[in-house]
Amino acid sequence: MEETTTRKEKSQKKDTKKKGGFASILTNLKTEFNRIIWPDKESLTKRTIAVLVSSVALGGIIALIDMVVKFGLGFVIS
């Protein structure tokens, strides 16, 4: 008998979770956003600069490799 009671309780718990709807989703979303630790302005600025510098550097390296490969293929083909 305890098993059937447990099954009923589980199904009731599932039903209550489904009843929340859109309002429940928004409440949960707000709760999750309150848990986020947002970076301060200084940290955000430093990280943004690091990403921009590394992106430009990587782009330059890729462009250099591309020019070398084009030059090498042009030399081999002609």
- How is 6-61 classified by DSSP, letter by letter? HHHHHHHHHHHHHHTHHHHHHHHHHHHHHH--PPPHHHHHHHHHHHHHHHHHHHHH
Task: Name the phi and psi angles at 39, rounded to 5.
Answer: -70, 155
Phi, psi angle pair for 16, to nearest 5°: -70, -30
- Among candidate residues 28, 50, 30, 25, the one with its CA nearest the CA of residue 39: 50
d(CA 64, CA 72): 12
**pTM: predicted TM-score of the whole model, two decimal places:** 0.53
- Given this model, what pLDDT does residue 74 score? 86
Q: In tens digits, what is the pLDDT along the chain, a chain of 78 residues? A: 445 556 655 555 555 455 668 989 999 999 999 999 989 999 999 999 999 999 999 999 999 999 999 999 988 887
